[in-house]
Structure formats: C-alpha cells, structure tokens
C-alpha cells in the first residue's frame, strides 16, 4: 500500500519565518520597520487567543505588534474611526481586523475600508481584484498558504487538473483564482455541486475547504494526487475528548494520495507564516 508524503506545514512555516527575520533585519538597517496593528472588538475568546499567538509570532521575526482592543459596545462609527486613523498613520505598515465583529457591525464595510497596501489579510476586494489582473497584491493568507504547500511538492501546476471543494470568499474562491493564474485547469465546487466525487476523483490537485469532517475519503481521490486539507473541525473522539480534524480522512487518503497535508500541522501554521510574510511585504 502506497503512503503519501506528508506536507509538513510547521517545517515549511519555520523556513518562511527564518527568511522573514532576515528581511526585517534588512528593513531595520535602512531605518524602517514592519508594524502590524490588529483591531479586536468585544470579548470573543477565540479571537483573543489568536491575537495572543499572533503577537508572539510577530515578535519572533522582529515585527512590531499593536493590539487595539475595543469594547463590545464599540459602534460601526467607532471602529471606522480606528481604521481611518491606522490608514493615515505612516508608522503603521499593516492592518488586520479580528472576526467576529459584534452584531450590528458591518464587517464588509470595515474590511473594505482597510488601505489596500496595508491590508495584509487580503480582505479588501481590491486585493482580490488585483490577483485576477495578475498584479502584485496582498493575497488572502490561507489561499497563499495552500499555494505554497502545493508548490513545495514540486509538481507542475500548469496544466494540472485542480478541484477546489468549497468556494468561500476568503478561502475557496481565492485559491481557485490563484490556481487559474498558475494556469491549472480549475473546477470550483460547493455544497450544491452534483457528483462531486466524480470530479475530485479526477483531480491531480485536490483542495478541501468545506468545514465538514471526513468529507473526502480514499475513494474520492486519484492515485498520486496532491491533497491539501484546509478544514478545521472540532469533533469528539471515541474517548469522549474533543480533537481537531480536517475535511479529509487522513489515514484512508494517505494510502492513495502522493502528497497530503495534515490537520493540525498543515495549512494552519502556514497561514500564520503567510500573514507575517504579507506584513513584511507591505512594509517593504
């Protein structure tokens, strides 16, 4: 039985961070710096934990990190004022807004306000538009992570058949667009796609970003394919304990695929590395 090569997101992320530390040192030598300002509104525990980890990750490569922790009662106008201030502040080179935002706040309006050249999560629609035109742009971090992981396998993307399972604005669609830019033949599928299994079975590159545990089994995968699992799902194990799994049946698919990314330890750590890389790119 063949066993797929694991695409280790932690190892790839470490290499990216090492190279970023050198770029940040170079910026400092020129009297410049990279600074990420994050806006967090309300008491969401997940967002606070993410912000804490983000601060640590930034510090490790020499990026300054500033958290703007606003109360749950902050209004749309209050948040817009913070974003305008950050847009205009020349010391701030990168901005991101933690989700979720409180009920009644329009996240789309807030994200679209972020200056295009400081939008390190690639959530301003202008940044997605720039990808379509093949212009240099700040690309959504998870989509970038997926591309880096595919490229790390050394397979030829140009001419490959790529199937994306899931078509959200922040993951599935940008991944499909980046693969099109790399001249793959791309099929984008969603919850309404008919005979999805027949499509995935033909894929040289299969990306799953649906958020459904065990959605992709060995029988849905072509032999030798590159399989990237973006899903993050919390499920209860046989021992009653909660654990994190992706969308892909890792053990089953490993016996068919050529390359596979695990969850945890796959796309997640690479997404953080891509946020840091975008932050350094924005500063440069």
Q: Which residues bind ligand NAD (CB under 6 A)?
A: 142, 165-168, 170-172, 189-191, 196, 209-212, 215, 230-233, 267-268, 271
Two tokens, residue 212: 């459904």
Task: State the minimum distance, in angstroms, from the CB of residue 165 to ligand NAD.
Answer: 5
Task: State the minimum distance, in angstroms, from the CB of residue 164 to ligand NAD.
Answer: 9
Q: What is the dihedral sign for C-alpha 100, 106, 109, 110?
A: negative
Q: Could you identify the residue written with the tokens 């980046």?
A: 178
Task: State the minimum distance, in angstroms, from the CB of residue 196 to ligand NAD.
Answer: 6
Query: 231, 208 in Cβ contact below 8 A?
Result: yes
Q: Toward ligand NAD, which CB reaches closer, 258 or 269? A: 269
d(CA 160, CA 129): 24
Q: How many CB atoms lie within 10 A of CB 14?
A: 12
Task: State the minimum distance, in angstroms, from the CB of residue 195 to ligand NAD.
Answer: 12
Q: Toward ligand NAD, which CB reaches closer, 87 or 190? A: 190
Task: State the minimum distance, in angstroms, from the CB of residue 206 to ligand NAD.
Answer: 12
d(CA 206, CA 224): 11
Query: 201, 222 in Cβ contact below 8 A?
Result: yes
Q: Toward ligand NAD, which CB reaches closer, 86 or 215? A: 215
Q: Toward ligand NAD, which CB reaches closer, 62 or 268? A: 268
d(CA 179, CA 50): 28
Q: Toward ligand NAD, which CB reaches closer, 64 or 268? A: 268
């Amino acid at each position: 039985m063949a066993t797929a090569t694991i695409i280790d997101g932690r190892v790839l992320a470490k290499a990216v961070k090492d190279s970023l530390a050198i770029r940040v040192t170079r910026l400092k030598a020129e009297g410049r710096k990279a600074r990420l300002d994050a806006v967090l509104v309300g008491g969401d525990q997940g967002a606070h934990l993410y912000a804490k980890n983000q601060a640590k990750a930034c510090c490790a490569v020499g990026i300054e990190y500033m958290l703007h922790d606003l109360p749950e009662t902050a209004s749309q106008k209050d948040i817009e004022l913070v974003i305008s201030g950050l847009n205009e502040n020349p010391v701030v080179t990168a901005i991101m807004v933690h989700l979720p935002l409180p009920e009644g706040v329009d996240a789309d309006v807030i994200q679209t306000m972020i200056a295009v050249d400081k939008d390190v999560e690639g959530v301003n629609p202008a940044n997605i538009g720039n990808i379509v035109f093949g212009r240099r742009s700040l690309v959504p971090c998870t989509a970038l992570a997926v591309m880096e992981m595919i490229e790390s396998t050394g397979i030829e993307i140009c001419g490959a058949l790529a199937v994306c399972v899931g078509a959200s604005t922040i993951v599935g669609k940008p991944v499909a667009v980046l693969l099109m830019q790399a001249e793959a033949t791309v099929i984008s599928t969603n919850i309404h796609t008919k005979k999805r299994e027949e499509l995935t079975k033909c894929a040289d590159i299969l990306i799953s970003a649906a958020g459904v545990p065990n959605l992709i089994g060995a029988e849905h995968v072509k032999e030798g394919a590159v399989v990237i699992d973006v899903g993050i799902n919390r499920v209860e194990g046989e021992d009653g304990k909660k654990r994190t799994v992706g969308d892909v049946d890792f053990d089953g698919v490993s016996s068919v695929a050529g390359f596979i990314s695990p969850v945890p330890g796959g796309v997640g750590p690479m997404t953080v590395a891509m946020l840091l890389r975008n932050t350094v790119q924005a500063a440069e």
